[in-house]
Amino acid sequence: MVNQWFTEIKNVPGVQGVFIASGRGTIIHNEGIKIKENELQEVAMRLLRMSAIFNEKDENVSEIELFWKNLFIICKLSNNLLLVTICDSPKILPLLRITLNVSLSHLLQDKKIMKMARNHAIDKNMILRKGKFGDDELSLLSNI
């Protein structure tokens, strides 16, 4: 059943692939992305740290968009789960958002996925202590 939702996302024109990461940045599932797992974990950690900054300000963020290595990344955030999609361009965003919302709601109901996500849960503020932000990230985050 999970594969059906990954297929739906990958069928959106311009989508290279999709992955799910836990609240600790561990890659739970990768579908179609030919990037090394450690690089995907680095992306997941950056996304988690960005969401943790909002969390520290008592603001809730459910989606993050960014460019990374000339690719467009859109991340849907849930409590212990990141649904990250890598695309060629942000032009597909309206259709992709609808597809991601539907897919995420179904993935959150999948017991196997949620069990893996719960096993990797972490306090969002702890994420801020992992790694370092680059100068470009710090300048972007200073505008928040």
Confidence band for 118, pLDDT divided at 50, 70 and 90: low
Lowest mean pLDDT among 44-53, 82-91, 99-108, 120-129: 120-129
Q: Please tell me the pTM assigned to this model.
A: 0.76
Q: Where do the domains of the chain lie, and which CATH numbers do they carry?
A: 2-129 (3.30.450.30)
**88 compared with 113, residue with greater pLDDT:** 88
What is the residue-averaged pLDDT of the chain? 80
How far is residue 81's CA from residue 24's CA, in Å, rounded to a whole number? 9
pLDDT digits (tens, 9 = 90+) for 37-96: 999 999 998 898 888 887 777 777 889 998 988 899 999 988 778 899 999 988 888 999
Lowest mean pLDDT among 9-13, 79-83, 95-99: 79-83
Structure-derived torsion over alpha carbons of residues 44, 127, 105, 12, reported in degrees to the nearest 10:
-20
Q: Is the pLDDT of residue 119 over 80?
A: no
> What is the three-class DSSP state of 74?
strand
Distance between alpha carbon 90 and the CA centroid of its chain, in Å? Answer: 15
Q: Which residues contact 61 (CB under 8 A, 6 or more apart)?
A: 50, 51, 54, 55, 77
How far is residue 107's CA from residue 113's CA, in Å, rounded to a whole number? 7
Res 141: pLDDT: 61
